[in-house]
Amino acid sequence: MKRFLPAYACAAYLFLYLPLLALGAFSFNNSKIAVWQGFTFSWYSGVFHNPALVEGTLNSLLIAIVATIVATLVGTLAAYALWKKRLAWLTGSLYLSLLSPEIVTGVSLLVFFQGMFHFLKLQLGLHTVILAHITFSLAYVVIVILARLRSFDRTLEEAALDLGANDWQAFRYVTAPLLLPGIVAAALLCFTVSFDDYVITSLVAGVNSETLPMIIYAMARKGVSPEVNALSVMITVGLGVLVLISGRLERQK
């Protein structure tokens, strides 16, 4: 048993990381096929010279940034109020939205937007994608921040109130500073979830709102392209760094 567990863990970590490492290694391969032909950076420069990829990246960044700002703001306020006093239906619906299959969330938003637009004479586009992203990332924000609030010592805020602070001052000068790392962690998580989403986005996106995951999906269906490998490496490294920062902040006391 003493020998089995470490050996097994090694194998498990290889299983988790080998596919990504292989993908990364072949993003530097000087050939379109999976045979090593020498080292090159050309796929990386290719990504930056591909107008569709650049536009997709900009769209994804815009969507993720707007969705993150709104969801973090709304989610932080809600989590704080829910921590003070439970509101079963809201907490329940947030968990439900977190667990509900993406495809169901996607089609329900699609029929909702199309129904609304029937009256409003609007079309699917970046705005519908942003609204969808705010909705599904809200649950992540509330749950991360609520978890952090639950680890708090409630008496700190009560002490502030006893010392003459009003509710707002107690929140502003006691709870908010303690909560800040949690808020940043939630925002970073929100950004990664939004930046990565394909299923819901593809259903509510209209013309001129193609995101990076939609382009990667289309390229993945066509076949292997080293440009996608290069792009994947950049996204994985970028998101990985965000997740590491977020994890560090979340644990900070």
Q: Which 101-140 residues touch another protein, going by CB under 8 A?
A: 101-105, 107-112, 115, 131-132, 134-135, 138
The verdict on 84 binding another protein (CB under 8 A) reads yes
Residues 172-211 that bind another protein (CB under 8 A): 189, 192, 195-196, 198-199, 203
User: Considering beta carbons, is residue 62 or 243 the nearer one to another protein?
Assistant: 243
Q: Which of 142, 170, 185, 205 binds another protein (CB under 8 A)?
A: 142
Q: Which of 169, 220, 245, 252 binds another protein (CB under 8 A)?
A: 220
Q: Which of 14, 33, 58, 156 binds another protein (CB under 8 A)?
A: 33
CB of residue 54 vs another protein: minimum separation in angstroms? 18
CB-CB contact of 40 with 250 (8 Å): no
Query: From CA 112, how far away is CA 120, in angstroms rounded?
Result: 12
The verdict on 72 binding another protein (CB under 8 A) reads no
Residues 37-66 that bind another protein (CB under 8 A): none
Q: Which of 182, 213, 227, 230 binds another protein (CB under 8 A)?
A: 213
User: Considering beta carbons, is residue 55 or 171 the nearer one to another protein?
Assistant: 171
Q: Which of 16, 88, 120, 207 binds another protein (CB under 8 A)?
A: 16
Q: Which of 53, 67, 94, 129 binds another protein (CB under 8 A)?
A: 94
Query: From CA 137, how far away is CA 187, in angstroms rounded?
Result: 9
Q: Which of 52, 54, 58, 90 binds another protein (CB under 8 A)?
A: 90
Residue bearing tokens 């939609």: 214
Using CB under 8 A, which of the segments 14-22, 41-49, 50-58, 179-187 binds another protein? 14-22
User: Considering beta carbons, is residue 6 or 51 the nearer one to another protein?
Assistant: 6
The angle at the Cα of 74, spanning 169 to 194, to the nearest 5 degrees, equals 140
The verdict on 247 binding another protein (CB under 8 A) reads yes
Strands (E), 180-250: none
The verdict on 74 binding another protein (CB under 8 A) reads yes
User: Considering beta carbons, is residue 40 or 225 the nearer one to another protein?
Assistant: 225
Token output for 91:
């907490």
Using CB under 8 A, which of the segments 37-45, 47-55, 151-159, 232-240 binds another protein? 232-240
Q: Strand, coil or helix: what is 87? A: coil
